[in-house]
Chain A
């Protein structure tokens, strides 16, 4: 922990001591990390297949066509069929399937019954299926991964733009500040969701276009805080000192002022994550988000609310959303408290 300043170390300690926030943080990070390797837990491809003395790891990489396992088709092997064939033939071939043996895209139909199917341990649809017979748990987990990555991407872009512009505005002041204030005021009054809906109705957006589009209209919030912060820090002695020894503007801004304004950025961090997830979810809910059949919470929520008679759909989506949002709120709370200047401020 040597890379942290003494102040930072104290803040970290304080954060760790706030158990609820800290454990939420640990849980959240583990969820994110696990979701990055979701293919190992939730997949219709097995983890390991041993077939005729050869071992295959189909999880990542190219598809293994049916011909590899003695079928006569060129497309991806139907592993569920392969598994039952292994059991039948008893010739020492085996495979290990993930805990949830479904991909978020595959439609599973039970002969003689119409989807959605309710949660059931025996069918391995632990949370049931949606209206098209896709496993809800699989779609929740992959949907979470997409939402969180989307949110982080959005956050990175908005922070880079917001922070640098805000800092420059606060640091330079004068006309530059004045002009950008007005630009930001105008931009902030643009109804983002509507803009995205209009654009989405013309082009079908993908992950990147949607993130950039959202970013283009949501970097403004942070600039205000960064600007005021910079204004304040700008008059501190250490900045004057840096200027006196001839440090460049960039250096002052990014080496001196920015690290001292970090508390603001960090406090906002969890809430930005939340707003990213909510934005994507609401867009998907309205049908203007990522194209079908991308797994998405919003889309599940939409299915659930339009088919309230199948409670497990809406219930799963709402529960997942509430859990994640609550975790983030706990984290946010703890961070805010850890950075609270009333307890730990160091003015010389």
Chain B
């Protein structure tokens, strides 16, 4: 029974390899290297030392695909899997990573890449064209149980061709502007020698496997439930590449599990953590003060950035009996007093987010404004849509149904914000039940689409992405990002048009049109926007003169386009002795506003 299959597979394998060898690179390509863009790191950075950071929960898996993999820890793993090229964080121009040079095909769908022959996996194997071919097989496999990837790598990327061991081309489904070709069709290699053959047991088998990677760090010791260490590779193949100079300086990055940010902050004050991101006002204003700051042991930084903003807000499940009525959603948007939250518990530090895609430059529809708190409008809408009766407690009723909605969220730091909203929503006759869940169960609830309303912030992309959040292909089924269950034919058409459009102006127009429809449907209620990142670190942690780039979201990011800081071990010892003798250093409280967006 198996024999014919093997034979057929062998036949196709022979066919495919011989076919690949048959082709050679087109001769009229113009190869680009871009080895002269400015460096954003500090070349005088010292190597060495240990950097300690924390995460709120231990990752449910180390896989970067499949169920439960879309957790915050994945960003650490993915940041150490280099792609072919990357974006310069200031100018957004293309800079080399595994590819040394690239060229564009005439069809405007294909990019050719020459791979760096020195590129190595962490286990010493060299990175070859086959690993890129394998990425496609891997991502298309049903065994990885990742419908989004399955779809993306089947419909968006049509083929990956090998010309020799270190030359490939990638062809996407539709023609796109040049920089977008890299963003949408760029691949990271997948270690073929490691996975060998994918099988039905993939998910279970690879839950805790450490996959060979190409980046500066690899996972070292794992203390399950407690901490994960990343060790810097001694002889990393790309360490002398122009854009990596002065970066990835610490020898070891320890990420500890500390389930409560308040406790984590105490660890920071004790010096167990080197830095602490203090975007939350409660932390910045109430905690980050006192002797440690006055004596200059800990330094404070505010860094304004200019980058796509997280699509953060309330997502309303349109499969819900009550929320499927658009009027209710609009009324709810008018009944939520986000401005009051900003003015009170957030101390005026945040701004109201206006649209789903903010900060995407021309692609954002800045004419749209989030629905403001307006009880009259909310009440009028509800009165005229069958919810005119109020119960004895002031909550509206329709037949035997109460206008009572559950808000699930995953951070107890948000308790105060949402309880303020709850108070004002009652005035519109809407009861908002706050359901706090542990962050991983919160994520599960959303992915199972079992929520009514959830508070969440999506991470950002290069261009506005609509398909994953709003296309009906992803509605009414678990494990997709369409958590509003948006199912709208007109939108579907526009999303596909947007995806396939190559003309930039038309694309921008489509993006704005889609933004208006999203606004119109009111399934997403934007909450807050933070136009900066800020934090504090012990004085032994050193940052370059300009501590980040235009798109820096976290000054203390050890990987990705970060890794700019370094640890001054001498100062570390010095500071620790100074603390005992209460020696003072100058207070450091810096604001960097060169990238500030004037709104």
Contacts and interface: CB of A to CB of B under 8 A. Distances in A.
Given A75-B427, A75-B428, A132-B416, A291 B286 contact: no
B155 interface: no
A178 interface: no
Interface stretch (B130-138, B204-212, B224-232, B390-398): B390-398
Contact of B286 (A61, A62, A107, A309): A309
Interface in B134-189: none
A131 B434 contact: no
A74 B426 CA distance: 10
A305 B266 CA distance: 11
24 contacts: A63-B394, A65-B394, A73-B375, A73-B427, A75-B429, A105-B423, A106-B423, A114-B347, A131-B282, A132-B344, A133-B345, A201-B441, A202-B437, A204-B436, A204-B437, A287-B436, A291-B434, A291-B435, A293-B434, A299-B415, A306-B260, A307-B287, A309-B286, A309-B287
Given A75-B426, A106-B423, A204-B436, A307 B286 contact: yes
A291 B436 contact: yes
Given A106-B423, A133-B344, 10 more contacts: A62-B393, A74-B394, A75-B428, A107-B344, A109-B343, A115-B345, A201-B438, A293-B419, A293-B434, A307-B287
Interface string A130-149: 01110000000000000000
Nearest to A76: B394
Interface in A124-173: 131-133
Interface in A68-94: 73-76
A115 B427 contact: no
Contact of B418 (A105, A292, A305): A292
A109 B419 CA distance: 14
A75 B394 CA distance: 6
B375 to A, nearest CB: 7
Interface string B342-378: 0111010000000000000000000000000001000
A307 B427 CA distance: 31
Given A105-B423, A291-B436, A293-B419, A74 B429 contact: yes
Contact of A107 (B260, B262, B423): B423
Interface string B510-524: 000000000000000
A311 B422 CA distance: 27
B433 A201 contact: no
Contacts of A114: 285, 344-345, 347
A293 B415 contact: yes
B436 A292 contact: yes
Contacts of B345: 114-115, 131-133
Given A114-B344, A115-B344, A204-B437, A292 B394 contact: no
Interface in A196-216: 201-202, 204
A95 B265 CA distance: 47
Nearest to B260: A306
Nearest to A302: B412
Contacts of B438: 201
A109 B344 contact: yes
A174 B587 CA distance: 76
Given A292-B434, A292-B436, A309-B286, A62 B422 contact: no
B434 A74 contact: no
A310 B285 CA distance: 13
B420 interface: yes
A156 B583 CA distance: 60
Nearest to A131: B416
Nearest to A109: B344
B392 A61 contact: yes
Contacts of B344: 107, 109, 114-115, 132-133
Which 7 pairs show the lowest CB-CB distances between chains A and B?
A62-B392, A201-B438, A132-B416, A306-B262, A75-B427, A293-B419, A204-B435
The CB with the most chain B CB atoms within 10 A, among A61, A63, A299, is that of: A63
Interface in B384-430: 390, 392-394, 408, 412, 415-416, 418-420, 422-423, 426-429
A210 B344 CA distance: 32
Contacts of B416: 131-132
B379 interface: yes
Interface in A254-306: 287, 291-293, 299, 305-306
A61 B437 CA distance: 32
A253 B543 CA distance: 77
B153 to A, nearest CB: 33
A131 B341 CA distance: 12
Contact of A287 (B287, B390, B412): B412
Contacts of B436: 204, 287, 291-292
Interface string A106-127: 1101000011000000000000
B386 to A, nearest CB: 16
Contacts of B428: 75
Contacts of A307: 282, 286-287
Contacts of A132: 344-345, 415-416, 419-420
A74 B412 CA distance: 32
Contacts of A76: 394, 426-427
Contacts of B392: 61-63
B438 to A, nearest CB: 4
Nearest to B427: A75
A131 B260 CA distance: 17
Nearest to A132: B416
B531 to A, nearest CB: 20
Contacts of A299: 415
B422 A293 contact: yes
A202 B287 CA distance: 31
Contacts of A107: 344, 419-420, 423
B427 A292 contact: no
A74 B390 contact: yes
A147 to B, nearest CB: 19
A43 to B, nearest CB: 15
A343 B543 CA distance: 76
A76 B375 CA distance: 13
Contacts of B285: 114
A108 to B, nearest CB: 10
Contacts of A309: 286-287
Interface string A5-16: 000000000000
Nearest to A110: B344
Contacts of A61: 392
The CB with the most chain B CB atoms within 10 A, among A106, A299, A306, is that of: A306
A306 B264 CA distance: 11
The CB with the most chain B CB atoms within 10 A, among A63, A106, A132, is that of: A132
Contacts of B286: 307, 309-310
A63 B431 CA distance: 14
Nearest to B420: A107
B68 to A, nearest CB: 15
Contact of B379 (A74, A106, A310): A74
B420 to A, nearest CB: 5
A133 B420 CA distance: 10
A103 B457 CA distance: 32
A291 B433 contact: yes
B572 to A, nearest CB: 27
A201 B437 contact: yes
Interface string B423-461: 100111100011111101100000000000000000000
Interface in A23-54: none
B414 to A, nearest CB: 9
Contacts of B418: 292
The CB with the most chain B CB atoms within 10 A, among A65, A293, A307, is that of: A293
Contacts of A63: 392-394
Nearest to A292: B415
A296 to B, nearest CB: 11
Contacts of A306: 260, 262
Contacts of B282: 131, 307
A292 B419 contact: yes
Contacts of B440: 201
Contacts of A62: 392-394
